[in-house]
Structure 1
Amino acid sequence: MQLAVQLALLLVPLAASAHESRPAYLALQETTPGQFSVLWRTPVLAGMRLPVILQLPDRVKNLKDPVVSELADSLVERRWVDAGPGGLAGERIQFGGLQLTITDVLVRVQMRDGTVSTTLVTPSRPWIEIAAAPGLLAVAGAYVLHGIEHILFGFDHLLFVLALILIVRSRRILLWTITAFTFAHSITLSLATLGVVHVPGPPVEAMIALSIALLACEIVRMQHGHLSLTSRWPWIVAFTFGLLHGFGFASALTEIGLPQADIPLALFSFNIGVEIGQLIFIGVVLGVLACAKRISVPAMITRGALPIANYAIGSVAAFWFIERLAGFAS
């Protein structure tokens, strides 16, 4: 009987862990270079703690004694550790005993540069390897792609560039106009992202739509033979509106986030990506226009194509302006 009781007592923790499906949780936050605050939470069922042991690398040392708190459904342990100059990059953290359970471990790692990663560790692979910090080339490549994606999927910015193409007939002046637009939005993008200037996002988005509608109006004026500031000095208008569009780019970049250790590189790479995306779009538009000139199309169709395109741009921009204006006004 005594043997049966002892055996039953030994089986209780195993039974608790076998039926425990709530995940354990590990949070690592780098506070200073190489030093981390650690939060380790393990579930408790029927008064028994999940038999999973957090195993940090051997060279990691405690800065002070751990603090353990008992909650109704879990046991929370807080540590403050020093991983040395190299930090935890490339190191493996193991969870002893996890393979004997059906429980997962949710791991969240936040580095000093602002990067955050979340990983789910399963019993079949009871360890996690902390990813090394990305190199300069990796950071540059990632933000160049972000810039390309943003401009190619930012339809309001593309419509603005398309309107500039329809206004400027000279390729040389178009080059200067697009350069002025790029230079202007690079200025406000940098200032807004670095926190030097703060402009609310919704009004900026509404004004971007209005800038497209104004360009559409200028195209109509040019078709009727009226000269204006836009037709004479398009790069001045492109620069002015480019300052506005830069704030729109900044809101997108803020959502992506910037690596704190490589902010200048990330900003420069994002701008390069935006410029590449613009050049791709301009190349496609000019290619389509060149092909259209080589194809014998009835004159009536060619005369009507530009007004239709212009009114389509203006109508979409006006809709966006009203929609965005109503959005932040309410």
Structure 2
Amino acid sequence: MPRVGGQLYVAHWGRSRGPISHTAFFAAQLLEGFETTRDAVAGHLPSVLRRAGFTQVAEARRFVTVFGILSLQGCAMTEDHRLAVLFSDIAPADQAALQQRLPTRWRAHFVESEHLAGSDTEHEAIEVLCVFVRTRVDESLLRLLPRLRLVATRSAGIDHIDLDACRRRGIAVCHVPDYGSASVAEHVFALLLGVTRHLTQAHERARQGSFAYRGLTGFELEGKTLGIVGLGRIGRHAARIALGFGMDVLAYDPAFAASAEHPDGVLLVTWEQLLQSSDILSLHVPATEGTHHLLDAQAFARMKPGVVLINTARGALIDEAALLGSSQKTENKAR
């Protein structure tokens, strides 16, 4: 988690089950958080906020209810007060699912678009904003919401939210760090198998009526070395999948203590060792000032020829110009 200014809390909402989408599920859990009583919140939330000093990014490792955060933020929920909540980037099907679970004390507004205009913020004095990664929460948006006290993002990443601007205005922010950890880790291997087995090219040939396999052989994952950058929830899950494929797994994460628990079979190495030894690199770190262009020209120069790079994190981790230059050099050497 990026250690920057702001008031960031963790809502551990579990995983969705059944036909309801992730968006509707997490938003519905948000609703249930508001229905929690002050007595239930008092058992664990205040101590977390006291330890955090209420001004730093803090991770509450137990369930943190949004109601509790708002209670401390001054958003009292009483019989006379109807809480104004604005949901952005909500599909019609998700809106219908959520409306069935709305508390009577809520006055919710739904915007299907990820872009919020001035007219979207004029319905009520909005106190809660629930967004996804495509909605940019910055100073210009916050100015339109003078009574806002909480931004709840239905995502693990928070780089679409200006935490400094929220801190200046006394606005709390909560996210879902365990959101989609299995889905993202599995998607890594969907992409990886697509690359190593040339599935896109094979599909195109089949569409054209050709089933020739020459040039589509690819390579096996067994025995290859996977380098994982970032050994958080997603990184650890990806490591477990890789071990199931019979891969050697290396990991680099300066924030990960060597004594902390990590999957058996994963070797913690230095940044240089990871770049030099990996056949495949998979990125699992947030976009921060410290990780911006983490893979630059120097990093690409240290990598093995023909390394496969999988990025299911954020595009800002990679210097695209350096990536293009490295690719062109590799192509020229192969000619």
Q: Tell me which of the two structures has the higher relative contact order, counting C-alpha pairs closer than 8 angstroms and 6 or more residues apart.
A: 1
Please say whether Structure 1 and Structure 2 have the same fold, judged by a TM-score greater than 0.5.
no
More helix by share: 1
Larger Rg: 1
TM-score if structure 1 supplies the norm length? 0.27
TM-score if structure 2 supplies the norm length? 0.26
